[in-house]
Amino acid sequence: MSYSETIRKIYLDQIDQIKNAGIFKEERFIHSSQAADIEVEFPAGSSLKKVINMCANNYLGLSSHPDVVKAAHEGLDTRGYGMSSVRFICGTQDIHRELENRMTQFLGTEDTILFPSCMDANAGVFEAVLSDQDVMISDRLVHASIIDGIRLCSAMHDTFKHSNMEHLESKLQLHADKRFKMVITDGVFSMDGDTAKLDEMAELCNKYGAMLFVDDSHATGFIGKTGRGTHEKCGVLGNVDIITTTFGKALGGASGGCVSGRKELVEMCRQKARPYLFSNTIAPVVVSGVLKVLEILSESTERRDKLENNTKHWRKGLTEAGFVLKEGDTPIVPVMLFNAKLSQDFSKDLYNEGIYAIGFFFPVVPNGQSRIRTQISAGHEIHHLDKALEAFVKIGKKYGILGLAKQEIIEKYGL
């Protein structure tokens, strides 16, 4: 027998170590469609509990929108369930190219290529467009998928301190001898909810002849006046060379992603990016749903406007109640607790109060930076937010942290 008891024990020991370190991840089973109000089975086997979802990436509340669901049904009826092929063999339908064109138009770029996910887009893009003569200079807080993509690429890699433009400039000078320099950042950072300084970055890239790469997964559809993304907010539409983004968050939340940007770079991905070449095409039903989402967004900014108002209401409520928040204006609103155990206890208490929000701690965020990450949606109504706030205040009082500054919370609970 190849899978011996010795091998089994080694894995069981590793799983125990994860449990003992307090970082064992458990899934919660949701029995309803994704929305502000959901029904959850947790722990497994327990009866269903109705809770308000405060941790979905469903920023525009479109995951279960009736028009999107209807369009997906129509896609299923007219284009079938699966394509049983990668794109370049026999997996490209007219609607795949239509979605690429619509994304190009929406993002204000030159061309777009779809990937099975944004994780795949980030995993494939760097290797496809850079070589060992080049350098990638990334913000130290970029998403894990970018780090994986960087690891797969033969170009030199360096980092700059989070959003520190002086440090970035020093790195552009240090690597002046490289053929191509690519500056890499998230548009909105997923754990902190802050926004990259794309205007300053674009200026530096221009000064030092570098390309600019942005992963706008937590921005596409709602950041900027018309929801184009961080590049719209920062006034640099057309100045970002590569944008990667996802359809798995605001744009319907199903799956899929893309690389959008300079025509030649997109073409290089079509020729060389391995997750594009060796993974299945996006299912027609998903493509049909995303096309409907883009239609909805092009008709009105109502949903992103509502999201903006909801975010302001939520931030104001938490601030007035005396919580320490990460500063920002995006729908990612981290409530800082600093201590890992406190973040877990707080999350459990919230769940008992009917509020679903997760505590994050090391290694997902730096040590001593534990938090509850809340995410606001256009699918929330004010009564959802007010009920959630009531629960936050009740539990905040229980732990005696309301009105305390960062240092005071740390003194009380430790890091």
Partner 1 sequence: MEEIKDVVLNYVIEEYLEEDDEEITYDTPLISGGIVDSFSMVSLKRFLENEYSISIPDEKATPEAFDSVNKIVALVREFTG
Which of 395, 383, 385, 381 is CA-nearest to residue 322? 395
Task: Report yes or no: 280 and 81 within 8 Å, Cβ to Cβ.
Answer: no
The C-alpha atoms of residue 328 and residue 57 are separated, in whole angstroms, by 17
User: Is 218 designated active site?
Assistant: yes
C-beta closer to partner 1: residue 138 or 279: 138
C-beta closer to partner 1: residue 128 or 150: 150
Structure tokens that stand for 308 in this block: 């903006």
Out of 143, 157, 231, 371, the residue judged to bind partner 1 by CB under 8 A = 157
Segment near partner 1 (CB under 8 A), from 92-100, 168-176, 241-249, 381-389?
A: 168-176
The C-alpha atoms of residue 293 and residue 366 are separated, in whole angstroms, by 35
Task: Report yes or no: 74 and 288 within 8 Å, Cβ to Cβ.
Answer: yes
156 binds partner 1 (CB under 8 A): yes
Site string for partner 1, 350-369 (x = CB under 8 A): ------------------x-
Residues numbered 14 to 33 that lie near partner 1 (CB under 8 A) are: none
Q: How many Cβ atoms sit within 10 Å of the Cβ of residue 12?
A: 11
The residue count for binding partner 1 (CB under 8 A) is: 12
User: Is 249 designated active site?
Assistant: yes
Residue of 117, 190, 217, 347 with catalytic role: 190
Q: What sign has the CA pseudo-torsion 175, 176, 180, 185?
A: positive
User: Is 225 designated active site?
Assistant: no
Out of 158, 200, 203, 345, the residue judged to bind partner 1 by CB under 8 A = 158
Out of 65, 171, 304, 371, the residue judged to bind partner 1 by CB under 8 A = 171
Task: Provide the minimum distance between the beta carbon of 174 and partner 1 in the complex, in angstroms, as a whole number.
Answer: 6
Strands 181-186 and 211-215: parallel
Residues numbered 107 to 146 that lie near partner 1 (CB under 8 A) are: 140
C-beta closer to partner 1: residue 32 or 407: 407
Phi, psi of 210 (to 5 degrees): -105, 155
In angstroms, how far is CA 62 from the centroid of its own chain? 16
Residue of 157, 231, 249, 384 with catalytic role: 249
Structure tokens that stand for 31 in this block: 């029995």
Q: Where along the sequence are the contacts to partner 1 (CB under 8 A)?
A: 140, 147, 150, 156-159, 161, 171, 174-175, 368
The catalytic residue positions are 190, 218, 249
